[in-house]
Structure 1
Amino acid sequence: MQEKAKIQHVPIKVYRSADRLMIAAPMPGLEPEDINVRVDANGHLIIDGIIRGLLKDIKELLIDEWSVGSYHRELDLPNTVDAVHANITYGNGVLVVAFPISEQTIPASLMLQKTGAKHGEYVGHTGHLS
């Protein structure tokens, strides 16, 4: 019998350069199209990841010391950012979001496009990701 996935708090790293604010979050087990990144007008970041097919094709779970599952994280960003022009990548189970720092917050809700097996991206800016 499969259990319903619980929503997990995502640990993050937040760092910045002179013109970018970056967030990295481990979110293993997802498909890129199951990840949503939002920034509201108040500079509040919301990251959601919904897992499909929990323990798909697993006949007998013998040891369960860590879990993949649905993820959620909210954070007040330390800088105003332009979310429309963010670059986002998802690969090897890690989500990386690079926001251009701007004079005022420009909100957006961003979905990744699949670029390969378990890889995805959202390109809002042709510049660098880091």
Structure 2
Amino acid sequence: MATYDPFRDLDRLASSLFETRRGPRRMPMDLYRDGDHYVLSADLPGIDPGSVDIDVDGQLLTIRAERTLSEGEGVKWITRERETASFLRQLNLGQGIDTDGIAATYSNGVLTVTIPVSEKAKPRKVQVVADAAAPTIQAHESTQEPQPVEQ
């Protein structure tokens, strides 16, 4: 059950009124592993897909996007709450990622980046091979009766 917190709303209002920071904003995202790849989903509503820039530098994945709003000539705004904005998110991919196989799609305001696990990092079975030169132990049948063990 959600509870009403007047201070949260007041804080949100104060942040919007007194915010002077005009740098890049963070985009909300989800990240999960599905089999042999990771899936990153980031909310980027109102973004032109052509403005999305994804770079991989070593093990650093950087996502940048710009939201621009059209300025109509002779338009008189009644209210304007949507702003132009730039978004930035950086992730350290770590080891075991196939950076050449990273792919991205954008649909309905959600950017989806598929990050494959490298072949080297995938779990695999190691086959055990018997060495023909190694001595083998052969079982012999015993004719003696088992003896009781003293404790």
Gaps of 5+ in 2: 1-21, 122-151
SS where residue 8 of structure 1 aligns?
coil
Query: After the TM superposition, which segments of 4 or more aligned residues of structure 1 sit over 6 Å from their partners?
Result: none
- Per the TM alignment, residue 67 of structure 1 is displaced from its structure 2 partner at its CA by 4.5
In the alignment, which residue of structure 1 is the partner of 2:106?
90
The 8 Å contact of residues 39 and 45 in structure 1, kept in 2 or not, is answered as yes
In the alignment, which residue of structure 2 is the partner of 1:49?
65
- Per the TM alignment, residue 6 of structure 1 is displaced from its structure 2 partner at its CA by 4.9
- Per the TM alignment, residue 29 of structure 1 is displaced from its structure 2 partner at its CA by 1.6
The 8 Å contact of residues 66 and 84 in structure 2, kept in 1 or not, is answered as no
In the alignment, which residue of structure 1 is the partner of 2:11?
none
Taking only aligned residues, the RMSD between alpha carbons, in angstroms, comes to 2.4
Q: Which amino acid aligns with 2:99?
A: A
In the alignment, which residue of structure 2 is the partner of 1:59?
76
The 8 Å contact of residues 10 and 25 in structure 1, kept in 2 or not, is answered as yes
- Which residue among 95, 98, 101 is the counterpart of 2:117? 101
- Per the TM alignment, residue 30 of structure 1 is displaced from its structure 2 partner at its CA by 1.6
Q: Which amino acid aligns with 2:71?
A: K
Quick one: distance in 1 between partners of 2:102 and 2:34?
14
Q: Percent identity?
A: 29
Gaps of 5+ in 1: 105-130
Larger helix share, 1 or 2:
2
- Per the TM alignment, residue 73 of structure 1 is displaced from its structure 2 partner at its CA by 0.6
Larger strand share, 1 or 2:
1
TM-score by length of 2: 0.55
The 8 Å contact of residues 79 and 101 in structure 1, kept in 2 or not, is answered as no
Q: Which one has the largest radius of gyration?
A: 2
Q: Which amino acid aligns with 1:56?
A: E
